[in-house]
């Protein structure tokens, strides 16, 4: 069974600073990996995903993530934080076995941007 | 529709009452998922539909919880005899078939915030 660990339930960075949100996964097969963002009182929105191919994936709003198999990690980064990035971020994994369709989510990281 | 629609957006109910939560997925999305989001708990999988069938209902926490889907479209999550621990945000998502298999990802609704008093 797959699982996701997000280190740091709360992360604060200054506006313009690097954003780094950590995600480690456990999966019995090569995983598909996702990052979602949730703004207050809204549903989750897909930021980016890794399925196969290039291990550095780019998403919306300037975010990117790198799949590192040796470290079982899929950390989310953004070079320069913006006030509008304040939200909760969820990492998710799928082991994409046919018939096992659900995503397993981490417990989330709340990102605060300091002006 | 253009997105996943959930209703009501907020529901306050008395302990012991039954509630129904509705999800209207994106047209053409055959897969539908219910998750529960509790404070500090992340997203907890409840049930997954492919068409009108539920191949995976392993996440339903008790027999007070049930869900159905009709016409391959709208789904209703029913909680009977609500308890205070049922208070949470219930999120619905939809996707093209076999989203997990092909990495499509989900489209989420805005959720129903359920408060049991």
Q: What is the pLDDT of residues A30-56, one digit of tens each?
A: 788 999 999 987 889 999 999 888 999
pLDDT higher than threshold 90 for residue A97: no
Average pLDDT of the segment spanning A50-74: 94
Closest CA to B29 of B87, B110, B113, B109: B109
Which residues in chain B (97-116) have CB-CB distances under 8 A to chain A? 98-103, 105-111
Interface test with A, best of B67, B104, B105 (most A CBs within 10 A): B105
Q: What is the pLDDT of residue B109?
A: 94
Average pLDDT, chain B: 91
Tens of pLDDT, residues B67-85:
999 998 999 999 999 999 9
> How far is A95 from A86, CA to CA, in rounded Å?
29
CA distance between the termini of chain A: 41
Chain B, nearest residue to A90 by Cα: B42
**DSSP secondary structure code for residue A30 in this structure:** P
Interface test with B, best of A103, A105, A107 (most B CBs within 10 A): A103
| Cα three-residue angle B54-B58-B59, rounded to 5 degrees | 105
Buried b (16+ CB within 10 A) or exposed e, A80-96: ebeeebbbbbbbbbbbb
Would you say B30 and B51 are in contact if contact means Cβ atoms under 8 Å apart?
yes
Q: What is the pLDDT of residue B39?
A: 79
How many inter-chain contacts (A to B, CB under 8 Å) are there? 72
Which residues in chain B (15-54) have CB-CB distances under 8 A to chain A? 31, 33, 35, 40-43, 45, 48, 50
Chain A interface, Cβ < 8 Å to B = 9, 32, 34, 36, 41-46, 49, 51, 90, 94-108
SS3 B103: coil
pLDDT bracket for residue B2 (50, 70, 90): confident
Q: What is the pLDDT of residue B17?
A: 98
Q: How far is A97 from chain B (nearest CA, A)?
A: 6
Instruction: Out of B39-43, B75-79, B84-88, pick the least confident.
Output: B39-43
Q: What is the pLDDT of residue B72?
A: 86
Would you say A19 and A87 are in contact if contact means Cβ atoms under 8 Å apart?
no
> How far is A76 from A58, CA to CA, in rounded Å?
10
pLDDT higher than threshold 60 for residue B1: no
Would you say A110 and A10 are in contact if contact means Cβ atoms under 8 Å apart?
yes
Q: How far is B41 from chain A (nearest CA, A)?
A: 6
Residues with Cβ < 8 Å from B44, sequence gap 6 or more?
A: B35, B36, B37, B38, B59
Q: What's the token pair of residue A64?
A: 């990117």
pLDDT higher than threshold 70 for residue B100: no
């Amino acid at each position: 069974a797959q699982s996701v660990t997000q280190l740091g339930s709360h992360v604060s960075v200054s506006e313009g600073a690097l954003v780094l949100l950590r995600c480690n996964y456990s999966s019995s097969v090569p995983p598909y990996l996702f990052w979602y963002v949730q703004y207050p009182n809204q549903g989750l929105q897909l930021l980016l995903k890794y399925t196969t191919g290039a291990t550095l994936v780019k998403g919306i709003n300037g975010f990117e993530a790198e799949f590192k198999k040796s470290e079982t990690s899929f950390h989310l980064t953004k070079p320069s934080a913006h006030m509008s990035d304040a939200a909760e971020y969820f990492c998710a994994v799928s082991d994409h076995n046919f018939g096992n369709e659900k995503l397993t989510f981490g417990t989330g990281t709340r990102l605060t941007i300091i002006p | 529709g253009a997105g996943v629609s959930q209703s009501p957006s907020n529901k306050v109910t008395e302990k012991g009452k039954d509630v129904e939560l509705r999800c209207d997925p994106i047209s053409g999305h055959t897969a539908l998922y219910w998750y529960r989001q509790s404070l500090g708990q992340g997203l907890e999988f409840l049930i997954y539909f492919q068409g009108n069938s539920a191949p995976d209902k392993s996440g339903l926490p008790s027999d007070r919880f049930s869900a159905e889907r009709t016409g391959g479209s709208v789904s209703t999550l029913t909680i009977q005899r609500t308890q205070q621990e049922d208070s949470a945000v219930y999120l619905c998502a939809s996707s093209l078939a076999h989203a997990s298999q092909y990495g499509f990802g989900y489209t989420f609704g805005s959720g129903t915030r359920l408060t049991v008093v």
